[in-house]
Amino acid sequence: MGYIDALSEMIDFRNLHGASEAVFRKFFATELYLKRARKTVAKMMRLQSTHNVDIETLEARCHWATMEELLEVVKIHLPLYENAVKIYKTSPTQVNP
């Protein structure tokens, strides 16, 4: 993506500082192809990010909770869970799915 953006910025710079009519036509065609390339690369990156959900990939992206963080969440929700189970055991109709 960085290379594509750099090429687009170079074309903008050249357009701003003037160029011949033939160069402008070539830039127009190049910008079309760059726009398509940008869309394709972005789509590939989105697909790759949704399919790579193994532990190593998540850790590399800092999207993986540590055991301490998980225990904090469990401590908060455990009493609520135990209370819901107790209510369900005594009267199953009171708990909505």
DSSP assignments along 33-93, one per residue: HHHHHHHHHHHHHHHHHHH--SHHHHHHTT----HHHHHHHHHHHHHHHHHHHHHHHH-GG
- Higher per-residue pLDDT: 85 or 64: 85
DSSP state for residue 19 in the 8-state scheme: -
> In this model, does residue 97 exceed pLDDT 60?
no
pTM comes to: 0.39
pLDDT of residue 2 exceeding 70, the answer is yes
Per residue in 14-63, pLDDT (tens digit) is: 777 777 778 777 877 888 888 888 888 888 887 776 666 666 777 777 76
Cβ neighbours around 11 below 10 Å, total: 19
- Domain extents for the chain? 1-63, 65-97
